[in-house]
A and B are shown apart, each in its own frame.
Chain A
Amino acid sequence: MDMVEVLERLNYQVTYNPAQTCCGQPAFNAGHREEAHSVASCFLEAFKEAECIVCPSGSCVAMVRKFFPQVFQSSKELEIAKSLESKVFEFTEFLVREGKVNELSGQAEGKVAFHNSCHAMRELRLIDEPWAVLRKIEGCQWVQPEVEPTCCGFGGLFSVKFSPISQTMAKTRLEQFVDCGADTLVTNDPGCLQQLKTEASSKSLGIDILHLSQFLNRALNHPGVRS
């Protein structure tokens, strides 16, 4: 809902089709393309009329943009699937593309770090976009680990099938943020969010973990912001 509120603040008309379910990625990434196809078909049905689809997850966007052509190859729906490729955007990607970044002004406190999701970073090459948005938030100190960014260990069904590996990956990633002194961690994918939150709470690490849209919405509504 945070993303909706930010978009509405920027004068976009947001609609939500209650018939939507899922893009089919969990099955696709498990190698189960038939199941992915049947669920992705519902996605096409729900979104084929949309003018523009904004999503708070680079992972889902990557599925639609990069993997739908594979899911629907040699299928009648391929054309519709391809038409969505240029209409679906990750949240920060959308804001940057629309030139709305300069209309953002927000306030936050503390030492804040950002974890970019692997799908946003590597499938969609969204490296500067999240930062273009985050840098608009003032009052907080941005801190970042010196090491190369690594995966949080979520990986969909991977975290279920190989949970000890997945959890240790989350631990290693969180450690990097704790070591650089962050008290708040922002991430742009619900998968990473859930993974890191679970690990942080099981280890009782005193670090607040938020989705980027949530962080952004809070910062825009901060009492310190001059309107």
Chain B
Amino acid sequence: MSQLQSFLDNSENKALDEIHRKKIIKAVTSYDQTVIGMKSEQFKDWAHSREVAGKIKQATLDRLPDYLEEFESKIQARGAQVLWAEDAQAARSFIDEIIARHKVKQVVKSKSMTTEEIDLNEHLEEQDIEVFESDLGELIVQLAGEKPYHIVTPAMHKSKEEIAELFNEKLNSDPDSTAEELTMTARAFLRNAYVTSQIGITGANFLIADEGAVVMIENEGNGRLSMACPPVHVVVAGIEKMLPRLRDLPLFLPLLSTSGTGQEVTCYNSIIKGPKGEEEVDGPEHMYVILLDNGRSELFQDEEFQQALRCIRCGACLNACPVYRTIGGHSYDTTYQGPIGSVITPHLRDLASFGHLAQASSLCGACTDVCPVKIDLHHLLLENRWRSKKAGLSGIKWELILKIWAWVFKSRSRLNGMSKFIQLTQGLVRMLMPKSLREKVPRRAKKSFGELWKERQQ
């Protein structure tokens, strides 16, 4: 089945799923309240701060190759190894070699969208490497055999009852567990994994050029444990994660946590500058930073779309999007869902398979309004539609419909003729329509504005 067809099927199923709709409305309503509150509580002028953040991020992109090189030389000077992966396959091969070198049998991971992007879990499991997802939301979707539903809150679509049932089945916990008991079950389940895994794999929220640092934010502590306990720490980071200066963090960290979860700052904001230093007694012996391109450098060269690489993956555009709220994260069938996903996926993967995502939008612009780095998301969706059309991907049906439409609307007399025709035939046509369609299609007004105007002038 084509991507488009499966999108149409899945999105329709979700749109009609009343239980799903109620769950998501509940989650985004609570998100909205917290985030709106925190924006005004913490920021003097949110609009100004996002303007500044957007400018810093854009200026970073303007100098990205220099910053990447600076980052590389600084972090390598502290003993980390930097590996440049052009695509998912290259990134997986690096990890394979690290695994072989350090005789790894078991991996503990903290939440990372880049590892989702390269399908790392499936790849490792094929080689009988045991993978522990340690973020609670990620663990839930891993146990359920699903993909993350949301880039920030992976298990947003699951109710407490569903999770209790899942944990009961997989982890043998009480089927009536509360949220707290479920969290403690996950804690107990993973405690040993940190200590016995030979490598910890994490993502990065920011890469800092001037200090050669990786920055990671989280609330649970699983990220800290993943980079503290195992002897090897591997970071998989997109090349666009860069910020020029450590001193940019006092703005970007609160900006990200406010947009992401409505927190002033997240519980842990960690700055990692390498493996354990020579004078230090505790910490990983080895650190590898895999810089992932995977289509980003192509997107970077696209004048219109480069700005999409400002994204700091806060998830705000997903939460704001009425389409995301209706069809849920899984319908997209992409690593990055929602508006940002519909903007970048056709470029990072391919336009023919994912171009429809840009069509599946009312272009309401809610995403652009909430983006903390001012990516013009809904206009980029519009741009993607134009790209699809230019690439001849509209399909014969729509090509024809719009050609006819333009032919009719180019002339008032043709339009009037068409209008009269519809008026005369609508009774018959409506009779032939199935009832469901008849309810949706409005009747033509008895008289058009033009006709009324003419009568009025007489």
Say whether, besides A162-B11, A165-B360, A198-B439, A150 and B405 are in contact (CB < 8 Å): no
Which of B266-274, B422-430, B449-457 makes up part of the contact surface? B449-457
**B366 in complex: contacting residue of A30, A33, A151, CB < 8 Å:** A151
Q: How far is the CA of A16 from the CA of B453 in the complex (A)?
A: 8
Say whether, besides A32-B402, A151-B362, A168 and B368 are in contact (CB < 8 Å): no
Q: Provide the B357-369 mask, 1 if CB < 8 A to any CB of A, else 0.
A: 0011111111011
Is the contact region of chain B dominated by helix, strand, or loop, or is it mixed? helix
Whether the pair B452, A1 counts as a contact (CB closer than 8 A) is yes
Q: How far is the CA of A141 from the CA of B30 in the complex (A)?
A: 27
Say whether, besides A16-B449, A162-B360, A147 and B439 are in contact (CB < 8 Å): no
Whether the pair B12, A154 counts as a contact (CB closer than 8 A) is no
Which residues 95-133 in A have Cβ within 8 Å of B in the complex?
A: 118-119, 122-123
Q: Provide the B418-458 mask, 1 if CB < 8 A to any CB of A, else 0.
A: 00000000000000000000011010000001101110100
What's the least CB distance linking A65 to chain B, in Å?
14
Residue A20 interfacial (CB < 8 Å): yes
Whether the pair B409, A21 counts as a contact (CB closer than 8 A) is yes
Residue B29 interfacial (CB < 8 Å): yes
**A33 in complex: contacting residue of B369, B389, B415, B442, CB < 8 Å:** B389
Say whether, besides A26-B405, A168-B15, A202-B440, A21 and B364 are in contact (CB < 8 Å): no
Whether the pair A118, B366 counts as a contact (CB closer than 8 A) is yes
Residue A148 interfacial (CB < 8 Å): yes
Which residues 128-179 in A have Cβ within 8 Å of B in the complex?
A: 147-148, 150-151, 153-156, 158-159, 161-169, 172-173
Whether the pair A147, B440 counts as a contact (CB closer than 8 A) is no
Which residues 311-350 in B have Cβ within 8 Å of A in the complex?
A: 320, 322-323, 325-327
Q: How far is the CA of A123 from the CA of B453 in the complex (A)?
A: 30
**A19 in complex: contacting residue of B21, B365, B382, B412, CB < 8 Å:** B412
Which residues 19-34 in B have Cβ within 8 Å of A in the complex?
A: 21, 25, 29, 32
Q: Which residue of A lies closest to B7 (CB)?
A: A162
Residue A22 interfacial (CB < 8 Å): yes
**B362 in complex: contacting residue of A16, A153, A197, CB < 8 Å:** A153
What's the least CB distance linking A199 to chain B, in Å?
9
* B388 / chain A contacts, CB cutoff of 8 Å: 31
Interface centre among B359, B384, B415, B439 (most CB of A within 10 A): B359
* A75 / chain B contacts, CB cutoff of 8 Å: none
* A123 / chain B contacts, CB cutoff of 8 Å: 365
Whether the pair A150, B322 counts as a contact (CB closer than 8 A) is yes
Say whether, besides A29-B382, A39-B410, A21 and B415 are in contact (CB < 8 Å): yes
* B456 / chain A contacts, CB cutoff of 8 Å: 1
Is the contact region of chain A dominated by helix, strand, or loop, or is it mixed? helix
Which residues 358-403 in B have Cβ within 8 Å of A in the complex?
A: 359-366, 368-369, 382, 384-390, 394, 398, 402-403
Whether the pair A163, B440 counts as a contact (CB closer than 8 A) is yes
Residue B406 interfacial (CB < 8 Å): yes
* B251 / chain A contacts, CB cutoff of 8 Å: none
Residue B16 interfacial (CB < 8 Å): yes
Whether the pair A118, B362 counts as a contact (CB closer than 8 A) is yes
What's the least CB distance linking B28 to chain A, in Å?
9
Whether the pair A22, B389 counts as a contact (CB closer than 8 A) is no
Residue A183 interfacial (CB < 8 Å): no
Q: Which residue of B lies closest to A123 (CB)?
A: B365
Interface residues, chain B, with chain A CB atoms under 8 Å away = 8, 11-12, 15-16, 21, 25, 29, 32, 36, 320, 322-323, 325-327, 359-366, 368-369, 382, 384-390, 394, 398, 402-403, 405-406, 409-412, 415, 439-440, 442, 449-450, 452-454, 456
Q: Return the 4 tightest CB-CB contacts between A and B, nearest first.
A: A155-B362, A31-B385, A151-B364, A122-B365
Interface residues, chain A, with chain B CB atoms under 8 Å away = 1, 16, 18-22, 24, 26-27, 29-33, 35-36, 38-39, 41-42, 118-119, 122-123, 147-148, 150-151, 153-156, 158-159, 161-169, 172-173, 194, 197-198, 201-202
